[in-house]
Amino acid sequence: MDISTLSITSSRTRSAVWEHARPALDCELIKDGRSLIWYGKYCPDYSARSTTTAKNHLRSKHPENAIVRVEAAAGLEVDRQELIQAIVKCIVRYDLPFRLVEWPEFHRILEIANLTLTKDNGLVVSHHSSVSKAMNQLYD
């Protein structure tokens, strides 16, 4: 039995942190009491008893895969890579300059939309060279 076969009876939305989990091995516990145990996809020996602990582990040990918290009315969580890809696709489609991500107006749009898209005290994509790198990854 793995995580994907367990029924979830809660009405809450499943945390995006679970997308960075691996199934439990045969020798590992699946649940601790009523809580599922989160096993790290990137650190095979790492496990957590809460998604908050797992999210903190992702942020500190695997920043490239960290979950970015979007402080919107619905309390939505967005995958960092998904966000970067959306920004890159917009830049490519509308032939915008890579420096768009450095513009104060771009930052203001995010603020007005009530989004706190920060990671380590900086925007997820805050320099034009980051856009070029992300574009190469997206279209390779």
What's the rounded Cα separation, in Å, for the pair 94 and 21? 36
- Across residues 57-85, what is the average pLDDT? 64
Percentage of the chain beyond pLDDT 90 is: 12
Contact 85, 36 (CB under 8 A): no
Percentage of the chain beyond pLDDT 70 is: 66
H helices of the chain, in order, are 51-61, 80-93, 104-112, 128-139
Quote the mean pLDDT of the chain.
Answer: 74
Contact 20, 41 (CB under 8 A): yes
Contact 98, 131 (CB under 8 A): yes
pTM exceeding 0.85: no
- Among 34-43, 60-69, 97-106, 109-118, the minimum mean pLDDT is found in 109-118
Q: What is the pLDDT of residue 48?
A: 93
What's the rounded Cα separation, in Å, for the pair 116 and 118? 6
Higher pLDDT, 2 or 60: 60
Q: Answer yes or no: is pLDDT of 82 > 50.
A: yes
Q: Answer yes or no: is pLDDT of 97 > 90.
A: yes
Q: What is the pLDDT of residue 8?
A: 43
Higher pLDDT, 95 or 75: 95
Q: What is the pLDDT of residue 62?
A: 78
Q: Answer yes or no: is pLDDT of 98 > 80.
A: yes
- DSSP-assigned beta bridge partners for residue 21: 40
What's the rounded Cα separation, in Å, for the pair 31 and 28? 9
C-alpha neighbours within 13 Å on the C-beta side of residue 115: 17
Beta strands in 12-69 (DSSP E): 21-22, 31-32, 35-36, 38-40, 47-48, 67-69
Contact 133, 101 (CB under 8 A): no
Q: What is the pLDDT of residue 37?
A: 92
